[in-house]
Amino acid sequence: MTTQLVRRKHKSNQSDKLGQNPLLVASGSAVGLASIAVVRTSCGWVGLRGQQGVVTRTTMGQSSEADVRQALGTDGASSEPVAWLNEAADLLRRFLDGEAVDINRIPIDTDSGTPFQRKVRKAVRAIPPGETRTYGEIAKKVGSPGAARAVGRVMATNQVPLLVPCHRVVGSCGQLVGFSAPRGVVLKQHLLEIEQRAGGEPTGN
């Protein structure tokens, strides 16, 4: 049986807010070294891997801190705590606890990948919390109608779930599909429900 959610209409232009008010906290690690931040949330353990001021990988829904670190990989990572990354992890914790906070403040790598991949990630980041778009709608948004499967491949290789919110991208009939995090589409539905309950405009705090 396919799980479905009622799709909400677009109420605001989140794309206008992308890149505004980023977390500007000095890194405590040596230049060039990756760092990891781990936090326990209502959706399980969440982790972020960051380097040179941007988050490069996230994982969520893990059952333990050890699982987070294994998923993120600790090779080449500093053991030093990093202020900006810890603040980003706490912002995600608050988001998953149902606060209407703006996680688009968390800086990610926007330069990697092909032009198509970059456009898809930008379009997905612009989907307001609690709302959904189909793979086909995203394809049209980035000027490639008919490339729904290619959009799906970009989402399947998404290195920063939550920050590029692939849980807001659904199948052609609104069905929840293609979520590789632990608990799969059950977690995908839970994330959307958290966002819908929070409601309102995200705050900058």
- pLDDT at residue 202, rounded to an integer: 61
Tell me, yes or no, whether 5 lies in a domain: no
Instruction: With respect to residue 58, please indicate whether it lies within any of the assigned structural domains.
Output: yes
Total number of domains constituting the chain = 2
Same domain, 99 and 128: no
pLDDT for residue 55:
96
Among 77, 105, 133, the domain boundary falls at 105
8 inside domain = no
pLDDT band at 39 (very low <50, low <70, confident <90, very high): very high
Q: Indicate if 118 and 100 belong to the same structural domain.
A: no
156 is a domain residue: yes
pLDDT computed for residue 74 by the predictor: 80
Domain that holds residue 166: 14-18+112-198
The gap between the terminal CA atoms of the chain, to the nearest Å, is 40
34's enclosing H/E stretch is strand 34-41
* 186 burial type by CB count under 10 A (0-12 exposed, 13-18 middle, 19+ buried): middle
Closest by CA position to 92, among listed 110, 81, 104, 80: 104
**pLDDT of 81 above 90:** no
User: Residues with catalytic annotation?
Assistant: 166
Residues 147, 172, single domain; the answer is yes
Sole residue written with tokens 């989402």: 155
Closest CA relative to residue 7, chosen from 142, 171, 150, 182: 171
In this structure, is residue 65 part of a structural domain? yes
Q: Which residues of 43-81 are buried (b: 16+ CB within 10 A; e: fewer)?
A: bbbbbbbbbebbbbbbbbbbeeeebbbebbeeeebbeee
Whether 139 and 98 map to the same domain: the answer is no
pLDDT tens digits, one per residue of 132-189: 999 999 999 999 999 999 999 999 999 999 999 999 999 877 776 666 666 667 888 8
Quote the CA–CA distance of 180 and 202 in Å, as a whole number: 26
The residue to which tokens 């959307």 are assigned = 192
Residues 119 and 187 in one domain: yes
Predicted confidence band of residue 42 (pLDDT cuts 50, 70, 90): confident
**pLDDT at res. 115:** 97
User: The domain that contains 41 carries what CATH number?
Assistant: 3.30.160
Q: Which of 61, 90, 105 is the last residue of a domain?
A: 105
Residue 160: closest CA among 114, 124, 115, 196: 124
Q: 116 CB contacts (<8 Å, ≥6 apart)?
A: 142, 144, 147, 150, 154
